Structure 1
Amino acid sequence: MTVSEPATATTAAAAASASAPVPPLAARARAVGGSAVRDILAVTARPEVVNFAGGLPAPELFDAEGMATAFRAVLAECPGRALQYSTTEGEPALRTALAARTSARGLATGPDDVLVTTGSQQALSLLATALLEPGDTVLVEDPCYLAALQAFGFAGARVVAVPGDEHGVDPAALEELVVRERPKLFYTVPTFQNPTGRTMPAERRAALARVAARRGLWIVEDDPYGELRFEGERVPWIASYEGARDRTVLLGSFSKVMAPGLRLGWLRAPAALLRACTVAKQAADLHTPTVNQLAAARYLADRDLDAHVRRVAGAYRERRDAMLAALPDALPAGSWWTRPEGGMFLWVRLPERYDTAALLPRAVRHEVAYVPGAPFHAGEPDRATMRLCFVTQTPDEIAEGLRRLGEALRAV
């Protein structure tokens, strides 16, 4: 017996040290891939690459001095409050300022109609949590903002693209899909859309509002770019149309007009949905950073944000024009592209024989980058498309980047 005891002890010790596998990731984490944009930025971060891939505002145009002054004032005058926990709904001063800006643009809004979020991207996640059960259907534009597809995918939604044209989704096609699919919501970026740069005209927005009222549908109207208008007249929000006011969620952001590093967004929604999103935010991050909210409110009180936005939009218009001027020489015959009236992006379609995802490594070797269009499609991808961001580089850098892109395409 004494001879076998050491062997038994050794076996028991080996069994105790063996590790059982951990439980698997959630199905949604396995099913939803990463952001194509973020993946591209990770491999094109070299300074010599002219990068049209990111949706990055031009950092040299940030009002860094104005923001620094606002932060200093807040930390000097109310440090205890600025560095303390805050309410989930958001700082009252900021909510009041946001409500006033929204009301001034034609949509009557009070502070209690607004929830401050950690970027408008969080607003999408909160809405997905509050509205969607796994298996629910969401209707989207085609192509669609990539991060919205991710948010809805993580919620377990079935995402269906609505056909459209250069003016956005077709209201008749939307109504047909609402009847057939019984979706929870329709998501749209109607002004200077990401990725195409197109803007939905007023009559089509009114038609969408009528469909939502007639068929019972939430509309999520995402407007991060609307203030960056270079030309043409402002088009009213869908939320302002009769029939849509009690069923439209309007999302906004300071990322494109103030600074993305603040991570400040907001959503305006009917009371019951706003409350559900507030509870979801409590579970997500409790509240958006207090000091950032107070600094933004102070900036709005002391500075002229609208004047700053006009300066930024003027610079972006020059950069858009530089891209439009260089595209004909850079792209092969038979290509077409959008001409946005504002925002940050334009959309290119090459002739059918091109696959922009397959071509991207060649472009990067020529030290230029873009985002292939396929990931923006919820349905059948159009592999000949690409998104180009025109705001991050100067006009000279844009011209050089498109020269490199032309070389890469001619080398195919």
Structure 2
Amino acid sequence: MPPSTASTPAAASAAPPAFAARARAVGGSPVREILALTERPGVISFAGGLPAPELFDTEGLRTAYDAVLTGAGAARALQYSTTEGAPELRSAVAARAAARGLATSAGDVLVTTGSQQGLTLLAGTLLEPGDTVLVENPTYLAALQCFALAGARVIPVPCDGQGLLPDALAEITARERPKLLYTIPTFQNPTGRTLPGGRRAEVARTAARLGLWLVEDDPYGDLRYEGAHEPWIAAHPGAEDRTALLGSFSKVMAPGLRLGWLRAPAALLRAAVVAKQAADLHTSTVDQLAAAHYLGARDLDAHVARVRDAYRARRDALLAGLGAALPAGSEWNRPEGGMFVWARLPEGYDAGALLKSAVGHDVAYVPGAPFFTGTPDPRTLRLSFTTHTPEEITEGLDRLRLAFS
């Protein structure tokens, strides 16, 4: 008679193999964790770099989706698509880039699932583990995560109040022989600063002279509240054959669409297409076609102008109240556009340590330390002004004053 299975000890199972070292080494986003912490009702959050949902053109987007899902075209909208993207959306992106002074054809454009995917595709295409990447300091946190997952060695380029210093860039490039420079030259995240035109031209010349790929990220460029537009680095002599320009519809249309784009030289674009085939085959067809219909039927520039008016008033409300809200001796900048103000508390303060007190007063911000490569500045913080009305911003600053008292 066979032994009872109930009395037979279960065989020990072997543990599955470990995660890749890069997955173990890269932590989650502190910004995302702060956003989760501040989602409870009543919190006034200056933490997230989010567009204001009440300003979305919901009616126009609903009409666009209705149009592409009606009649014979619905079958195309719900079907697989080409990796490069819907031709009409690529053409619309190219036309908008050309209107900004950068000659672009539809064949120069790859539609991506948000511009974040474009950055991921470029990292996978250009970087081997151990390759060197240069970044502004501080810089966009998700870019640092992306490069860390690629196994890159990230080196900061010194910056001042206007952005990266071209002489320092040239010296570090000659010494470290990096593969690429990642830069957000217009209304940078997290600092809100904008690189002047003369420095942009120097960056292009340095890249051409020393052999450097440029990844120019421009999610905020349409959100200018004062001053004149600066040409993209990609438009400067020397940058033509080595610049990947990333753009997004998230800040001007709606982030839930997850639509971005990548403009790059032909060989790099083709490599990114192959990488995208491996990642997701293609970006959502229905979302692409709805966005293309929207761009053809509605005046996006008029919509963006309304958004800019609202954001300008919100920026001004934040700037007007910071002096009373922050400790005496604090410093902050005045961005000409974008979503962020960058502040620095006086000696002896730690923005990260003070966040708990702020959340206890139902207000939040993002400490600046996670945005740095190398030694962080614990006194810094990022304040976003886009998601609250001027009245709410004033109330939030009153709460911040109490938290810092």
TM interval, shorter chain, is: over 0.9
Match of 1:31 among 25, 34, 50: 25
Tell me if 1:338 matches 2:333.
yes
Which position in structure 1 is the counterpart of 2:175? 180
Tell me if 1:309 matches 2:291.
no
Q: Which amino acid aligns with 1:20?
A: A
Q: Which amino acid aligns with 1:378?
A: T
Q: What displacement does 1:333 show? A: 1.1
Match of 1:380 among 375, 383, 390: 375
Match of 1:193 among 184, 188, 203: 188
Question: 2:373 and 2:160 mapped to 1: Cα distance?
Answer: 16
Which position in structure 2 is the counterpart of 1:225? 220
Match of 1:161 among 156, 163, 169: 156
Q: What SS does structure 2 have at the residue aligned with 1:244?
A: coil
Q: Which amino acid aligns with 2:356?
A: P
Question: 2:308 and 2:10 mapped to 1: Cα distance?
Answer: 67
Match of 2:90 among 70, 95, 99: 95
Q: What SS does structure 1 have at the residue aligned with 2:168?
A: helix
Q: Which amino acid aligns with 1:70?
A: A
Deviation string for 1:211-243 (max 9, x for gaps)? 001100001000000000000000000000000
Which position in structure 2 is the counterpart of 1:71? 65
Extract unaligned runs of 5+ from structure 2.
Answer: none
Which position in structure 2 is the counterpart of 1:300? 295
Which position in structure 2 is the counterpart of 1:250? 245
Deviation string for 1:345-393 (max 9, x for gaps)? 0100001211111111111000001000000001110000000000000
Tell me if 1:356 matches 2:351.
yes
Q: What SS does structure 2 have at the residue aligned with 1:34?
A: coil
Q: What displacement does 1:47 show? A: 1.8
Question: 2:271 and 2:366 mapped to 1: Cα distance?
Answer: 35
Question: 1:42 and 1:24 mapped to 2: Cα distance?
Answer: 28
Which position in structure 2 is the counterpart of 1:280? 275
Question: 1:240 and 1:129 mapped to 2: Cα distance?
Answer: 25
Question: 2:65 and 2:15 mapped to 1: Cα distance?
Answer: 48
Deviation string for 1:112-148 (max 9, x for gaps)? 1000000000001000000001111100001101111
Match of 1:319 among 304, 307, 314: 314
Q: Which amino acid aligns with 2:194?
A: T
Deviation string for 1:285-326 (max 9, x for gaps)? 110000000000000000000000000001000000000000
Q: Please, what TM-score do these two structures have when normalized by structure 2?
A: 0.98
Q: What SS does structure 1 have at the residue aligned with 2:328?
A: coil
Extract unaligned runs of 5+ from structure 1.
Answer: none
Q: Please, what TM-score do these two structures have when normalized by structure 1?
A: 0.96
Q: What SS does structure 2 have at the residue aligned with 1:116?
A: strand
Q: What displacement does 1:162 show? A: 0.2
Deviation string for 1:59-95 (max 9, x for gaps)? 0000000000000000004110000000000000000
Question: 1:243 and 1:6 mapped to 2: Cα distance?
Answer: 79
Question: 1:47 and 1:57 mapped to 2: Cα distance?
Answer: 18
Which position in structure 1 is the counterpart of 2:205? 210
Question: 1:53 and 1:19 mapped to 2: Cα distance?
Answer: 45
Which position in structure 2 is the counterpart of 1:42? 36
| 1:117-156 correspondence to structure 2 within 5 Å | 117-156=112-151
| 1:359-370 correspondence to structure 2 within 5 Å | 359-370=354-365
Q: Which amino acid aligns with 1:157?
A: A
Runs of 4+ in 1 over 2 A off after TM superposition: 13-16
Which position in structure 2 is the counterpart of 1:20? 14
**Aligned alpha-carbon RMSD (Å):** 1.2
Q: What SS does structure 1 have at the residue aligned with 2:70?
A: helix
Match of 1:404 among 393, 399, 402: 399
Deviation string for 1:24-73 (max 9, x for gaps)? 11111110011111010111101211011111100000000000000000
Q: What displacement does 1:280 show? A: 0.5
Q: What SS does structure 2 have at the residue aligned with 1:19?
A: coil
Q: What displacement does 1:14 show? A: 2.4
Question: 2:250 and 2:302 mapped to 1: Cα distance?
Answer: 16
